[in-house]
Structure 1
């Protein structure tokens, strides 16, 4: 009886592992002949927080907080809307993908973004790109993930 109880508990624990949005890439794996592209419009759906290289928390985007990114072959533009925020946030610039890194260089944006650009205009993220979703992961100085923004393709 103890053995059966132990096996049931172990099965339960294994099945409850944090799947982080059911692994954002599930059912969206690229085929070997398909070239992935960032071109299009993308909507933020969630954030991941990391600790010890593991996702420890998933925060879903709410209806009163919207963030959209649009990519062409070499340009990026993003905007953020938050019902309770009177500050506008948007930015425009160039981007490139280098191996598994997304590099955005923001040229200009909203008044609040222009203040941020004075401090930093180049943003480098680890990129996990799939056909209809992607994650941009902020990495610390030691190479460990801090948080991720997760997007789905809307066009």
Structure 2
């Protein structure tokens, strides 16, 4: 009986020790993770920028994992669904998302190839995806913070 209790006690210590020594690893040098929109920037073309926070109740979440992206948006004053799923690639300065599946509201405004290439400004726990016009000028951005 003492051996059995000793074995059970040893197993509990090993399990507890494993939990303490192997926390979830979070890498802050990659887009992989879950992000929440915190605000927007609007660029005026003359170097000026106006920052706007997300409105109360507005939530937009993006998840990047294993080359895939999924996002959803909730606007309490809007009954229209907004979501999308697809693949992504990122470099030091660009983010490209190609949607394979999306809400009907998103499909109505999607471009022909359902691909968006944006300027990427990444800082570990925050990032901005900046939309650029045909002449290379910044139009606006979505700004995110890491939540997982």
**TM-score, structure 1 length as denominator?**
0.73
Residue ranges of structure 2 left out of the alignment (5+ in a row)? 1-26
Mapped to 2, the partners of 1:62 and 1:117 lie a distance apart of 24
Mapped to 2, the partners of 1:153 and 1:35 lie a distance apart of 9
Q: In structure 1, what is the equivalent of residue 98 of structure 2? A: 105
1:74 to 67, 71, 95: 67
Alpha-carbon deviation of 1:36? 1.6
Mapped to 2, the partners of 1:79 and 1:99 lie a distance apart of 25
Alpha-carbon deviation of 1:74? 0.1
Q: Does structure 1 retain, via aligned residues, the 8 Å contact 2:45–2:139? A: no
1:130 to 123, 134, 145: 123
Corresponding pairs, count: 122
Residues 71 and 55 (structure 1), Cα distance of their counterparts in 2 relative to 1, 3 Å cut:
farther
Mapped to 2, the partners of 1:66 and 1:49 lie a distance apart of 19
Pair member with larger Rg:
2
Q: Does structure 2 retain, via aligned residues, the 8 Å contact 1:46–1:151? A: yes
1:151 to 132, 138, 144: 144
**TM-score, structure 2 length as denominator?**
0.76
Matched, 1:58 2:51: yes
Alpha-carbon deviation of 1:114? 2.9
Alpha-carbon deviation of 1:96? 0.1
Deviation >6 Å, runs of 4+: none
Mapped to 1, the partners of 2:97 and 2:40 lie a distance apart of 19
Residues 51 and 115 (structure 1), Cα distance of their counterparts in 2 relative to 1, 3 Å cut:
closer
**Is the partner of 1:54 in helix, strand or coil?**
coil
Matched, 1:44 2:31: no
Residue ranges of structure 1 left out of the alignment (5+ in a row)? 1-33
